[in-house]
Amino acid sequence: MKTIKITFLLVLISFCGELYAQQTPASKQSTAVTIVGAKAHIGNGEVIENSLIIFENGKLTQVMDATTTKMQYRGTIINAEGKHVYPGFIAPNSTLGLVEIDAVRATDDQDEVGEMLPHIRSIVAYNAESRIIESMRPNGVLTAQITPRGGTISGTSSIVQLDAWNWEDAAVRTDDGLHINWPSSFTRGRWWEGEDPGMKANKKYQEEVLKLNQFFNNSRAYLAGDQKLVNLPYKAMESVFSNDKRVFIHVDLEKEILDVLQFKKDQNIENLVIVGGYEALTVADALKENNVAVLATRPHTSPGRDDLDYDYNYKMAKLLTDKGVLVGLESSGQMEAMNTRNLPFYAGTVASFGMDKEEALKLVTSNTAQILGIDNMIGTLERGKDATLFISEGDALDMRTNKLTKAFVQGREISLESHQTELYKRYSNKYKPEKE
């Protein structure tokens, strides 16, 4: 009887493991793959109506027009006639893998205690087996910048591909950028401390900006000294001052953005990116002049002010692009980890409000790759770059036709199954009409 109970328990555990286990990461590419006949959206604005794409050892070796070449097919041949092929979408400023369930504190590792935390590395907290991550891939989101939150200086982000056993396997570029939450020039009254409610000018704004400048100055002084006493925050600033690491400043208001541009000059920061930039349009000329890119806030939100057009959020990325600013799309905000899967549809919304479809595609591919400094690896379908791409039955920026049939990360064919797809298959036949 005891043996039967143990056997039953083992079977039950095995069943639950099959039901709830993560998708096993794909093995390294072993044979060449040829995709022929698809409409290829290169990611840089170009389109090849009848394409021939070959990749092996994880790298693209051929991307050309199939009608004008006699190139011999290699390895596994995929007939994608009538379908579309895209570079994998890139999600910047994301907390994927850092938070699993917002209401369960033990699964939330996006924030550390303290204000100036340049030495905090998000990559070591990244959970490659997050169930949220596997739900990104069926929509074509295959790469993400994993970004910490909180404090004035939140820490350092890293860029990962979304099919891996652990953070070491996932890493595309570690410690790519420092993230700073710029002080706000306005503050809300804290009722719990007896302050009047509502928005008001932040009287400590200049003091907080000065404190940030002092931290940078003190870090430089420390690095120029003998460094006998180890100071991890100051030490972590070395790669910022050498311009090996980008600086991402999270800021929205016009005055604050102008102060950020002054901060860039004062601190001699070469690679600075605005994240959010809700009022960036009003200072677009200054951003262009200072060669500052913008990771624009997601379009699927309500206007932030009463005097803005109802469609301001939808067209903001286009208007900034028209001004000559390099723009990508990010998805921070309410339920940001889960909503990252909607990244292609954010670009689709921008396209529906005036931007050319291929230009909108760049907002989540080549533009973002350039902003993150990984455009030599991913972001477009070009020879020599990683074979991180997918095949869709239709337009991948439209939720009605974004239906992936195959996806590859660094040449490895990955699973497109997730908890959601399993549930869909389970319940899709439940309410079929009865046959007469």
pLDDT at position 419, please? 85
| Paired tokens of 163 | 């099919």
Name the percent of the chain lying above pLDDT 70. 94
CA separation for the pair 251, 394 (Å, rounded): 36
Confidence of residue 14 (pLDDT cuts 50, 70, 90): very low
Q: Which amino acid is at 349?
A: T
| Paired tokens of 325 | 């600013």
| Paired tokens of 306 | 């009463």
pLDDT at position 27, please? 92
pLDDT at position 18, please? 41
Higher pLDDT, 378 or 2: 378
3-state secondary structure of 117: coil
CA separation for the pair 186, 201 (Å, rounded): 4
Q: Which amino acid is at 19?
A: L
Confidence of residue 111 (pLDDT cuts 50, 70, 90): confident
Confidence of residue 199 (pLDDT cuts 50, 70, 90): confident
Confidence of residue 202 (pLDDT cuts 50, 70, 90): confident
Name the percent of the chain lying above pLDDT 90. 74
Q: Is the dihedral of CA 218, 219, 225, 228 positive or negative?
A: positive
In this structure, of 2-11, 179-188, 230-239, the range with the lowest mean pLDDT score is 2-11
3-state secondary structure of 407: strand
> Which of the listed ranges 12-26, 44-58, 184-198 does the model predict with the highest average pLDDT?
44-58
This prediction has a pTM of 0.91
CA separation for the pair 296, 279 (Å, rounded): 10
CA separation for the pair 6, 371 (Å, rounded): 55
Neighbours of 265 (CB within 10 A): 9
Residue with tokens 């036709």: 401
Confidence of residue 15 (pLDDT cuts 50, 70, 90): very low
Q: C-alpha angle 343/148/242, rounded to 5°?
A: 105
Q: What's the helix, strand, coil split of the chain in %, to 5?
A: 35, 25, 45
SS3 per-residue string spanning 180-219: EECCCCEEECCHHHCCCCCEEECCCHHHHHHHHHHHHHHH
pLDDT surpassing 60 at residue 405: yes
Q: β-strands 412-413, 404-409: how paired? A: antiparallel
- Listed in sequence order, the residues at least 6 apart from 344 whose beta carbon sits closer than 8 Å to its beta carbon are 89, 139, 140, 141, 364, 396, 397, 402
Question: pLDDT per residue over 20-59, tens digit each?
Answer: 456 789 999 999 999 999 999 999 999 999 999 999 999 9
pLDDT surpassing 80 at residue 294: yes
CA separation for the pair 393, 416 (Å, rounded): 14
CB 161 within 8 A of CB 409: yes
pLDDT surpassing 80 at residue 178: yes
3-state secondary structure of 294: strand
Provide the angle, in degrees to the nearest 10, between the axes of the packed helices 312-322 and 343-352. Answer: 80
Structural domains of the chain, with CATH: 24-88+379-436 (2.30.40.10), 89-376 (3.20.20.140)
CA separation for the pair 223, 118 (Å, rounded): 14
Please give the distance of CA 192 from its chain centroid, rounded to a whole number: 36
Confidence of residue 81 (pLDDT cuts 50, 70, 90): very high
CA separation for the pair 134, 136 (Å, rounded): 5
Q: 159: which strand partners?
A: 145, 173
Confidence of residue 71 (pLDDT cuts 50, 70, 90): confident
